[in-house]
Amino acid sequence: MCRIAAYIGPSIPLENIIVRPTHSLLEQSQHATQAKLAVNGDGFGIAWYDRDAEPGVYRDVLPAWADGNLTSLCRMVRSRLFIAHVRASTVGETMRQNCHPFSYGRWSFCHNGQVPHFASIERRLEADLPDHLYAARGGSTDSELLFLTLLANGLDDDPARAMATTLDKIGTGPDPVKITCVFTDGQTLYGYRYASRGTAPTLYASGVLDNGGKAFASEPLDGGAWDAVPVNQIHILSSLQTA
């Protein structure tokens, strides 16, 4: 399973979440402790926000620990809001277009989980997309199509309703659907966990960090206060201080 980390709050170097913590996202790319696979080496990516409405995005197919540019980028780039992801692929080959986060307009999205019956519903989900979202699909993952379907179902207006409508369209199959995702419109950070049966993939929300920010992570980044995100409801992190 993939690993996710995200942050909202006063502007900080990306490395404060992705590289420096004891159990940072970079550490989790090789030593995850709450996933089926300890190693998440099928690519990585970051989406970050500054003054523009749309995020900057950096993705690559290298394992996170093998790209020397990543630590340099994370040291030099500061952001008030970002999401990052390391991938252990389940659907779709290892290529840049299949690496998370996915972005469209002001939204960015990353996902951990799987829709086991994806092959049987992919064509139907594609057909339900409006032309502009169908044309935006660049890869072959269930994750990207999930994101585009959320957008088609009104993510801009009502994230909770968009999620409920999308899950209804996905339906169920012989094996459980498991979805944990983090997404943002550049102002608010959303987390969500779902499993049609069994346990949803992990996601934790931090307490207020020492700089006043807040974070999501697949596994706690350090020994601070981290609470499991409740299942089947949108969990929101926001910050009044984002300068």
Q: Which of 2, 99, 110, 181 is catalytic?
A: 2
Distance of CA 74 to the CA centre of its chain: 17
CB atoms within 10 A of CB 186: 19
Cis bond upstream, residue 55 (ω within 30): no
Please classify residue 7 by burial: count the beta carbons closer than 10 Å to its beta carbon, then call 0-12 exposed, 13-18 middle and 19+ buried. buried
SS3 65: helix
Known active-site residue 2: yes
**How many Å apart are CA 228 and CA 212, to the nearest integer?**
20
Listed in order, strand segments (DSSP E) in the chain are: 3-13, 44-49, 56-60, 78-86, 102-104, 107-114, 178-184, 189-195, 204-206, 214-217, 226-228, 235-237
**DSSP per position, 81-123:** EEEEEE---SSS-SSGGGSSPEEETTEEEEEEEE-TTHHHHHH
SS3 3: strand
Among candidate residues 24, 77, 29, the one with its CA nearest the CA of residue 55 = 77
CB atoms within 10 A of CB 15: 20
Q: Which residues are catalytic?
A: 2
